[in-house]
Structure 1
Amino acid sequence: MFANRRGLVVGPQKTGKSPWGASITAFEAVGPCIFAGWAEGGEVYRCEDHGCSCGWSYVYEPGEPMGIPRPMSTIQLLATAEDQTDNVYRPLQEMIRRGPLSEQMKVREGFIRTPNNGRIDPITSAPNSKLGNPIHFALADESGLYGGENGAEGSNPFAPRFGKGFPKFSPDIRRLGAMPADPRCWRDANLELITMTSGGRRNRSGPKADEESGRSDRRGYSLTALPAEGYDGAAPEFPLMPRRVLRWEHEDKRRFQVVDDEMTALVADREQALWEWAWSTPQACAWSMPSEMWRIHTIAMWVRTFVICESDEPRLLTSRPCTGSLIRSG
């Protein structure tokens, strides 16, 4: 039935591999994990037809594989030590206790009871003790650590283990960098010239665009060399409102602020000088393009922040409430 009978999930620590493994285990225990033919379209799977009152249903599209729950499931969670099995076993217990799974699965002492006298067991024993004990599904956690004490030393993590009763399909979850116990499973990316994909959820993530590709041509994407001598055009008008510099005054035991015209003029001159310098750099050639004019306010905010950092304001703001204006201590 399966073209691929083994699965390996590898990722960095704290990315949720073990809770994911717990959800797969729950699916294998009471979910529609058994192939029930190909849908013609319109067939409906309802949880309530299988003893669950969650109310979920799914309408199959033509050609989709349909599923039914297994009548009885015997499942094992494999690891090198009891604490290791808890990585999957504890999230699975919470999934059962806090939701509709509690109607079909019961958390017991040391195991989980599933319908029709099935069970889920966390195990760490040696393979020979499992001979003749068939199971329907197993989840291996950190199989790269198997060896020695648990009797699985030298075992191939992709081969059937724990006796003849090991299931025909089982996933393996492992942290990034963990090596299989069997050297025959090791792979060297440098020798195999494996190209790792890049990308992610960040803005503009992924591999660098190829300027000469057909897709780039359709998008109008091209690279432009910026002149080393800089931008020789006129700088646009500084778009931000003028800043006021305030100073503290004392009169009749009162303390108040007034505008410091001299410092306000100095700050305005400094901002204008820095603004004009920024617009003389090579990068300003790109900013001057119509498609990039939206960056002007961002550049202006950088100029203003730069001038603030040059002044005493960062130090003063640590000891006085922010007034929104540059403060000069009198």
Structure 2
Amino acid sequence: MTVAFFALGGTISMAGADGGVVTRLGAADLVAAVPGLAGLGVPLDVRDVDAVPSGNLTFDQVLDVVDRARDAVAGGAAGVVVSQGTDTLEETAFLADLVWDRPEPLVFTGAMRNPTLAGPDGPANLLAAVAVAADRAARDLGTLVVFADEIHAARRVRKTHSTSTATFASPDTGPLGHVVERTPRLLASVPRHPALARPAPGALAGVRVALHTVTLDDDGSGLAGLADTQQGLVVAGFGVGHVPAALAPVLGALAARIPVVLTSRTGAGAVLSATYSAVGSESDLARRGLLNGGFLHPYQARVLLRTLLATGADRDRIAAAFAARG
């Protein structure tokens, strides 16, 4: 029973340098630094991929990793672990989950404390991630994020703190389980959706999706001309999905030209659909053509919308996808 390990870079792979730390450690270095890994009895197929900060990752690079992961499990791997920086991990793991069509676990992890600091968390996170990837109980759960001995569904996890080692949380559901004494203990599950089609190579290049966070006294002037350069828009509204009254007609005009998805900027909870009816409320915006993002946070909604557009989805298919996944 082999687990494939793909190392992308990020804090978990940082080493000392004058003026700061940079990505220097390869996959073999990371594995060698994990106490107790040999005791799991899980052979690793170790591979270096793109050693870059996660802020530099692209959709295409992430999809390439998913392709490699799919090849690995087709070749007999029991699961796959991917290490990367945490800056975009909630987005990359969600993108992977959208197109991951295998029962084997695809597990993302990383670190908040680099190896030059006291108490780096990378080795512990990697140990827990390998344990989860190798465990049959983790099959059919889609893509997972394992951090601080917690097991999260990629479709629900968020990065919630800039420096804490407990940064990853699932505000709406909590973790699916925990790793206890190197053993995964699954306590819950979330419904798994059928995988989306993987965008064809090059298809993403012409698809741009903007994200607009609504703020106090926002009149939408910054959105002028957006439909001429963007193929979609995600709006992070107030609370349950509200915007200032002056912004509502601006968003309605955009929704007549491109898909516009309404989400909440709060970090947890769902966008409502039929509670408030004032201008700029969720009901008003729905009447103007905005699509309801449900429980998806703005960054997830942008990933989903761009993926759908890159596969040629029309408005009805986009609306159905958000209704099912939000």
TM-score class normalised by the smaller sequence: under 0.3
Structure showing greater Rg: 1
TM-score, length of structure 1 as denominator length: 0.24
TM-score, length of structure 2 as denominator length: 0.24
